[in-house]
Structure 1
């Protein structure tokens, strides 16, 4: 978890925010949003919303009433309390890539992701000093039946890590099964509902729609007091207006509707204002996430979330590149540092992704982890004290001396961050020069070879296995 010490950079003015807010209110009041879930529509109606057929309309008063009930920050609990994180405030909580149906590496190239890949990326995320949350769909294990995929993934995350977990948003049944497994991991037979032990991703269907499966999961998360990132992925020019401000307004309407529903069900439900919104590349019709416009969406989303007093999610180390190459590097650094500098609280896709969310790369994961470590170090700021100002040391060395053998150097020589991947050696004509991606290829293999899972009580592990068998037999 990065505890930010750098001032947050704003991209929108107060007038800009107010204009987007007022347009959102008018759209919620006059146009409404399609809610394709009967129980959700009943909840809206029972709490004062206007409902006509499948369309739900929210007044400004109703919006303000229920937004006020949502927490501005909350704790996500891990089975190891040392790994608990606070989502909100000046914290940036990091999670790896999510949802990729393909994986790639230098040895085998691009291919369908498998359960083995899921286990490997779980281990890489568990071993990282920068990743805080794992689980969920780090990659899509296409060789596991859909009925079991969510419990198998959660079991792997529980077995190989004691960090915070993502759950399942694939309907109410799978969400509840994720809660049950996570509760077993915490040593409880009944579902824990007094604190957040999983966080899941609830997506809108743009423009202006929520489907049944996502609403089913959102309702269940609210009922059990589990955290939900409520997010839009709008493509400006195709599923949203051909302008950043217009697409932000559409996103705002969609996300706020989900936040209000969660609070109507259970006031105080931990929610995160989320976005994966970007532009459409008009030459290819693809979404473009390695773009400066995406960075603008990141900053604007963070401001809108703060405007409503909510934690925010967007960003990550993401790129449109098909390879772990120079383009992937400069786009990922731009999007990740924008995410930090604009004050995002939950950063999904922090490591590994290529090809605009489609492919997880083993080498890119290691390269991104290096980026995360660099930014984490930068955000820590500079320690200024009598010891670090070192006035007496400077006096002792005096003009023309050196500090290599001074006791102060020996005491502090490990204060500076040591790279895990970057090359700092000078040129030596007798040595073979390898590229960053080649070193990353070697590094991920070393991490997996040396990986040791944290201890897990055998009784708890057996209960998790028994639960998976029950799901398989249902």
Structure 2
């Protein structure tokens, strides 16, 4: 990339050439890890009340169904198992864990350029979910998704600037064996992108084989442990306030193998979590605090992401409302709690209840993505491509989501106020003996690339220009962009020798 300063000197041709060249990463108008945190839906008093309510819930209610190994870890750390079998957490134990917890986690990628710094209010957007259907935008219908669809999604994400990580967004419905599905999920995503990858495991018995695969991809166990490029999305709780026994055993295994953990609490407000926004946040915070104690009991200091992930519910029908204003508030409130604890955190945003990438999807995805970013959420999961309240995934929507997230990130960046941006010198030059407008001035041209985000597919032409171009359709443009991306060889593919070894060791379902 070309390193340039915002103010360029030289002739007009040189300035045009500089503007046409790719911007250096630090000069791009939006980029991974920009700081949010300017939006606070909760007052300081609200935050502290939620914190104390969560501590009270852990101390008085506790969590049920910990596996025997978890009971041993937790009671060894200072938790108390009652006669009812529930594990309760003394306030001092939780506070001690918070005091020792990591304030910063780096999620590595196969390509170090894509490493994610999870600290403070740095914001990153990516995929996630477990969709069982693919959205066919041309036929306007849904079909079951497979391993090729997952691989293609990873390949698309790899070239989208505003998708910063790729957590598995769908399940491979064409692989009925869960063991093979878990391993093929890792292979399909890692061979499609060099960005950080997130995945899940359906059984703790599968984890050791997954590590064998990852060690081969990394070039050895030592290299894997030095730069673990896959994290485990772990639903360690079954809300309300119960441990998910097998997921906890998975968590113990991945911690020992050096894999970062997303502690994911996904209650449904009104069903498996309180119906109020505040109550759902309290329960999610309490459950994730319990998970944090668990992680530190297994291995102090292990990298963990505080994944308060409550979802909204339409209480008229019982349907999930991932695209609602309530969902946006749930996510923003959780992000504010992450900042209160100064912990790396993640939550869900960008989900559409709409079945297709239409106007409804646009307002639903933009609302929560902007609020999540403004609230300083480190990891915005499910930010692009998710439809039908997580039941469907859409490649074209993923591509359109890159444009959408670019605008959301511009909101996160905010307004810079300094001597240059206040523009008094420009005003003097333009208004006193100047042209009377700012179009084409040196100052305007020098900042047009570093200040403004331009959509790749979004249409900003006039109605006349739009008609002259045969009224281009947004979905058709996304389809063409998908075909363009998938028509190229995947840059993230493994070298032939490594790929051959992987295929000899594991039953890989993707064609070579």
For normalisation by structure 1, the TM-score amounts to 0.91
Matches of 1:262 and 1:363 in 2, distance apart? 38
Name which of structure 1's ranges 329-338 and 309-318 shifts more when overlaid on structure 2. Answer: 309-318
Match 2:71 to one of 41, 51, 54? 41
Matches of 1:239 and 1:95 in 2, distance apart? 26
Match 1:278 to one of 311, 321, 329? 311
Match 2:397 to one of 359, 364, 381? 364
Give 1:74 shift: 0.9
Give 1:343 shift: 0.8
Per the alignment, residue 147 of structure 2 pairs with 115
Matches of 1:229 and 1:103 in 2, distance apart? 25
Deviations 1:234-293 (A, max 9, x none): 122211222222222222221111111000111111111113312321221112111111
User: Is the 1:167–1:179 Cα contact (8 Å) retained in structure 2?
Assistant: no
Per the alignment, residue 419 of structure 1 pairs with 455
Per the alignment, residue 481 of structure 2 pairs with 443
Structural mapping, 1:182-197, within 5 Å: 182-189=214-221, 192-194=224-226, 196-197=228-229
Matches of 2:85 and 2:221 in 1, distance apart? 38
Per the alignment, residue 142 of structure 1 pairs with 173
Give 1:69 shift: 2.4
Relative to structure 1, is the Cα distance of residues 403 and 392 closer, same or farther in structure 2, using a 3 angstrom cutoff?
A: closer
Q: CA RMSD in A?
A: 2.7
Per the alignment, residue 340 of structure 1 pairs with 373
Match 1:312 to one of 333, 345, 351? 345
Match 1:463 to one of 501, 509, 512? 501
For normalisation by structure 2, the TM-score amounts to 0.84
User: Is the 2:334–2:347 Cα contact (8 Å) retained in structure 1?
Assistant: yes
User: Is the 1:49–1:59 Cα contact (8 Å) retained in structure 2?
Assistant: yes
Deviations 1:126-174 (A, max 9, x none): 111112222x532111001322112212222222222112133333333
Long gaps (5+) in structure 1: none
* 1:201 partnered with 2:233: yes
Give 1:451 shift: 5.1
* 1:83 partnered with 2:117: no
Relative to structure 1, is the Cα distance of residues 404 and 281 closer, same or farther in structure 2, using a 3 angstrom cutoff?
A: closer
Match 1:21 to one of 38, 46, 51? 51
Per the alignment, residue 10 of structure 1 pairs with 40
Per the alignment, residue 409 of structure 2 pairs with 376
Matches of 2:372 and 2:346 in 1, distance apart? 9
Give 1:414 shift: 4.4
Per the alignment, residue 249 of structure 1 pairs with 282
Structural mapping, 1:65-104, within 5 Å: 65-104=96-135
Q: How many residues align?
A: 470
Matches of 2:222 and 2:209 in 1, distance apart? 11
Matches of 2:376 and 2:104 in 1, distance apart? 13
Matches of 1:56 and 1:260 in 2, distance apart? 12
Matches of 1:275 and 1:392 in 2, distance apart? 47
Matches of 2:442 and 2:77 in 1, distance apart? 68
Name which of structure 1's ranges 315-324 and 343-352 shifts more when overlaid on structure 2. Answer: 315-324
Per the alignment, residue 246 of structure 2 pairs with 213
Relative to structure 1, is the Cα distance of residues 247 and 430 closer, same or farther in structure 2, using a 3 angstrom cutoff?
A: closer
Give 1:6 shift: 4.8
Matches of 1:55 and 1:124 in 2, distance apart? 45
Matches of 1:67 and 1:393 in 2, distance apart? 51
